[in-house]
Amino acid sequence: MKILLTGCAGFIGSHTLERLLADGHDVIGVDNFDPFYARSLKEANLAASSGPGTTGQGSFELLEADLAEATTYQKLKFMAADQPIDAIIHLAAKAGVRPSIEDPVGYQRANVIATQNLLEFSKENDIKQFVFASSSSVYGVNPNVPWTEKHDVSGPISPYASTKVSCELLGHVYSHLYGIRVLGLRFFTVYGPRQRPDLAINKFARLIEAEEPIPVFGDGSTRRDYTFIDDIVGGILACVYKSVASGAPETENGKLKTEQPEGCMPAYAVINLGNDQTVTLAEMIATIEEVVGKKAIIDRQPEQPGDVPQTWADVSKADELFGYKPTITFKEGVTEFYKWYQAQGRSF
């Protein structure tokens, strides 16, 4: 297939790229190399995921561009002229709850406007398969765990979460009006090799190894559904492959059918991708201590605005639709991350 993959130089995007190439697909990758963290780390992600010896039969073309700019789409159309795009995997976004509070307008532009533009591109070029990254943040403060896709998401508590709700709603509009299959994958706290340096497991591992204090917000009782990168990428690709195999969503008299044929993916859905288990902040720190072999120095700080007390995914819908079954335990995942980190040297 020919796949358009956005955010290809990021943490999740570069792992997805690696798997797509290994599976023999041709990939157009888009990334704007946002300076949220060092460009050199993103370049290293690309080198690891698309360099010599990492590909199967697939090819890779990189477009460095801003998805919120209209001119980007003329370039994409030119790059896809020789072979139509079979599916879009849209992973590009400004991520992070706390930074979004400081820059809500920037998050709206990078997440919502870019997604709108990409859906327009999908409509105009008759691309019927659109899979994008949503987030567990859409659930807000919901004490009814585990969270299912039927739970209300009308109460986001950060600008980042609100942009992801907006993208889900946009996806529904384009699916309904234009017969595009739009599938939003709600990721739950993804971690593993190549993880962004600002995220807790990466940051804590570095600080604990260096015997420096780690900032701990609250009393350590907050819980997260940590999901290893290999499980997430496996879910993304299983979703895409099942979606493409289902063909274009069926219509009747020019209108999208609410019910698609048995065995096909729905025309629109939001789907949890998590580990279906939770780990407290205190347990996370203890696991990193065990893997690194050093005790943490705790710098206790107040809870942060926009943070939720817990996340927990019910993944039964993903299992039903495309056989998603996470397999990596938290300790196994932290161990794999630390092996990768050690292999990098002190480059963060």
Q: Residues with catalytic annotation?
A: 160
Whole-angstrom Cα distance, residue 44 to residue 33?
Answer: 12
Beta-strand pair 223-224/279-280: antiparallel
The number of residues making up the chain comes to 348
Q: What angle do CA 5, 9, 12 make, to 5 degrees?
A: 75
**Residue 295 backbone phi and psi in degrees, to 5:** -85, 145
Whole-angstrom Cα distance, residue 251 to residue 254?
Answer: 6
What residue has token string 């955010």? 7
Whole-angstrom Cα distance, residue 314 to residue 112?
Answer: 26
**Residue 272 backbone phi and psi in degrees, to 5:** -70, 135
Let me know: does 244 contact 1? Beta carbons within 8 Å: yes
Let me know: does 175 contact 194? Beta carbons within 8 Å: no
Whole-angstrom Cα distance, residue 337 to residue 183?
Answer: 29
